[in-house]
Structures are given as structure tokens and as C-alpha cells.
Chains A and B, each alone.
Chain A
């Protein structure tokens, strides 16, 4: 089975940095994904980590520690359009299993 935990909500100011943590317990772990989902829309891919370390993609970075079962998504220079739900997902045994998502609200 799998257990994926992430905070329910976070609020930050425009231009700031926010870090969304995700812990997971899965069997047969093969990689960790982050997706962004605006309300009522499809999730869109942000990042993928399979090895330990930091992956940077523009304003978004993602980190993975396999030994600790831990990942984070770092959002820099926050913009109003970044207000959305951020989903952590672990890939194992051919299943991509999602956490409940973290709703990030960006305030002016």
C-alpha cells in the first residue's frame, strides 16, 4: 500500500517563496511527481524526481530524499496565477498514487 502526506493549505505573499513538503511510504517506489491543479481543471505536470537531490525548472524546484521518504516542491517569486492545488504523487508497482493536495493561496 501507500501513504502520502502533504499539508492541506498554505498561504504566501506575491513575490515570496513557498515550500510544500511531502512524505511518502510506499512499496516498490520508483519516482516522485509533482502536479499543479487549478480548481475544476486537469492536473498538469511540474516535476519528476527518481534520484536523490534537487531538480530545478525555472521558478519551480523539487527535491527528493529516498532514504527519508521525503520530497518538497519549492515555488519561488510567487505570482497570483500560482494559486492552485499542488499534488505530490508516488509511482510504485505501476500505480501513480496521489496525495490529497496542498492548496496554495497567493495574496497580493
Chain B
């Protein structure tokens, strides 16, 4: 158990819908990272937050948004869902602003039908 909690574990929804994925980082960790992993694809970096502030952005679509709250949990919002958004979404946390080991949650498997 990495200490990073993601909910829900599985999510099935229809095209055009909107979902929210939630991540609670390890106790004391200030950084949260979001990744998308599709079938046969590597981990694609989406976005990073550090202590509530957006720190870095990767290949995140405009239909997707995220935030980190004062209690340091983070949410990833995916809207106008398309079939191609079906993937495993991982959250990771680390105790510093990068350059340290990141611990991954078990992921949320999103299926868009």
C-alpha cells in the first residue's frame, strides 16, 4: 500500500458525460501528479500540483481540468467524454516539488461506452 488513495477504482460512463476522479496523497506529501495510461501506451503526464498551485502541465486536453484543495487532495475532472478517453488514470504524490520518489495510487479505470 503506497498510501495514495484514488476513488473510484472503476468507472463506466457514456460518451458526452462528465466525471470526477479523486486522489488523496500520502500524509505529508505536497505534490500531486496525474497520469493517463491507455492500452498499449506508456504513462502520459497530465498535470502536477504543488501545495495547491499548478506546477506543470503535460498533454492534458482542454476538456480535462484538475485542482488541488487546501487539504491537499486533488480532483481530475474529465468532461465531454469520448471513447478514446477510456484508460487507467493514476495519481502519484511526493513530499517535495519533484526530484523525489513519487508514490502511485492504484488508479481509476475509466471506461467510456
Contacts and interface: CB of A to CB of B under 8 A. Distances in A.
A30 B99 CA distance: 7
Contacts of A42: 2, 90, 104-107
Interface residues of B, number: 27
B56 A94 contact: yes
Interface of B: 2, 33, 35, 41-45, 48, 50, 55-56, 58, 88, 90, 92, 97-107
B98 A45 contact: no
A95 interface: yes
Q: Tell me whether chain A's interface is mostly helix, strand or loop, or mixed.
A: strand
Given A94-B56, A95-B58, A96-B33, A87 B42 contact: yes
A91 B99 contact: yes
Given A42-B2, A48-B101, A50-B99, A101 B42 contact: yes
